[in-house]
A and B are shown apart, each in its own frame.
Chain A
């Protein structure tokens, strides 16, 4: 019997801790009237940004309580349609089927662009290649182009670097660049693509290795690696990623990030969304590696 005591004790402590946690939570909710409570759910790409915003906003407005959860864009929009959240975060535009479904339930999704997300393709500063088309980048990562000399560089093998498969950036790059936005396309990253667990790993390898090509969120790119100018198709202009080129949609590997509300927002939700458009909130955007919206 003696052996069970530690286990029992541990479980009691756990129970006690968790019950404390829950009482705190419920008292928080109870002390705020339901009007001051914003439920925010959706895209995993945006979840860190939304959390940072919620924290900053709550510290300025102690009377407002914002709950942020991830789960994916689809989950967030479904929750908005079911009326369980006030704001849905989305890393893509709402689909027309989703709008129809919402309308049938009396919900009127309204789109707010809250930030932009751009991916820069980077190479070693010593690499003479500085312009690529989306098709060429796709061919590099799928393994059709394996030597820099095929695209106007030196005779060196190409070492492809990518984030791990669980990163939102990886999935976005797969869909937008490798598959060029075509949903039917089943192109893959070639198996010899190095999957590095961190942004830092990619950047330090690109910095050191003249054979390497990598990609990462525009906000994370330091000055000592070279960004590649990208053209949507051959014949179109090559554009370097920058806050301006992302905002005027001339840079190809960029997308808008959205929040959806049911109809025109009112009260604290309206205040919150207005604050998100402010310079202070957009500074947080830049800190997290996204691209702020230019007015």
Chain B
């Protein structure tokens, strides 16, 4: 009896271990695959024509700068929307809302997170973009801004759910201590609870941004996909082409092994690097915050 128990224990432990390692293995495998398919580009195309502003792959123009700029401006817009709304919703759910509102709101936000992005894309193309064109008197509603609004909507549930958990985990004693010192509810939230939950809130924001920059279907449908350089804030209201939309739109038809194919994988590498940088920044900020908090406590 005891023997079979320890045997089962062993199997289960090993399975969990394998699952843990598999995540690392997959990331490494994917990265090597990307490198293998993307790096030949550097042999086939000059760096100067890659770092260029014209993207017209069927005639051999592989300037990826407009695509990077497009992704960045759409993601920046999405972050500007998702951060205040996401953190605000999290604070409301965790700190302000009565119990019944909380029990309705939380599942609703999670439901929003489960909306397929193609459905949001449809809403964007049929309702949001015509409305934006009329409202803001733009030449067309298919703009980076439409993409930012929808991506913000996609990122909000991620931000809310992680940030709310972090706020919830702040010990009640912190708040009570603050109130006892005569702080108002808002002062307590802004000066005590939020700073105490800072690392979790930041993780939520970074996860939300990661979700936004990797999102494909929605941006492909609503941003117009015109490969123009988006450098000024005004470009938010003109069409842009993102890296993800480019890969999705062109990968299906490209000849395997051609220069165009390799360039698309190189864009994949750039995207991977950007996500990596976002994650590294996030974890280093979280790490620093923790160290400071520890110093204060000690």
Residues of A that sit less than 8 Å from B by CB = 2-3, 156-159, 164-166, 171, 188-189, 191-197, 201, 204-205, 208-209, 211-212
The smallest C-beta distance from A72 to any residue of chain B, in angstroms, reads 10
Can you name 13 A-B residue pairings with CB atoms under 8 Å? A2-B18, A3-B22, A156-B139, A157-B139, A165-B250, A166-B252, A194-B140, A194-B225, A195-B224, A196-B225, A201-B221, A204-B126, A212-B140
> B187-228 interface mask toward A, CB cutoff 8 Å, 1 = contact, 0 = none?
000000000000000000000000000000000110011111
Q: Given A191-B227, A194-B239, A208-B130, list of 10 further CB < 8 A pairs?
A: A3-B18, A158-B139, A164-B225, A165-B57, A165-B250, A188-B56, A192-B239, A194-B226, A195-B225, A196-B224
**Beta-carbon nearest neighbor of B66 in chain A:** A191
From DSSP, what is the main secondary structure of chain A's interface residues?
loop
Chain A residues near B59: list those with CB within 8 A: 188
Least CB separation from A71: chain B residue: B255
Decide: A209 near B140, CB < 8 A? Known: A3-B18, A164-B249, A165-B57.
Answer: yes
Other-chain residue from B130, B139, B140, B249 in contact with A195 (beta carbon distance below 8 A): B249
Q: Encode B125-145 as 1/0 by CB contact (under 8 A) with A.
A: 110001001000001111000
Best-buried of A156, A191, A209 by chain B (most CB within 10 Å): A191
Which residues of chain B come closer than 8 Å to A159, judged between CB atoms? 139-140
Identify the B interface with A (CB < 8 A): 14, 18, 22, 53-59, 66, 125-126, 130, 133, 139-142, 220-221, 224-228, 238-239, 241, 249-250, 252-254
Interchain pairs with CB closer than 8 A, number:
71
User: Are the C-beta atoms of B228 and A191 separated by less than 8 Å?
Assistant: yes
User: Are B142 and A205 touching (Cβ within 8 A)?
Assistant: yes
Check B133–A191 contact: CB distance below 8 A. no
CB B109 to nearest CB in A, in angstroms, measures: 30
Given the known interface contacts A204-B125, A209-B133, A209-B141, the answer about A194 and B224 at a Cβ–Cβ threshold of 8 Å is yes
> In the bound complex, do residue B140 and residue A191 qualify as a contact, i.e. CB atoms below 8 Å apart?
no
CB distance from A94 to the nearest CB of B (A): 23
A53 and B141 alpha carbons, distance in the complex (Å): 40
CB distance from A131 to the nearest CB of B (A): 23
| Chain B residue at smallest Cβ distance from A195 | B225
Cβ contacts under 8 Å, B250 to chain A: 164-166
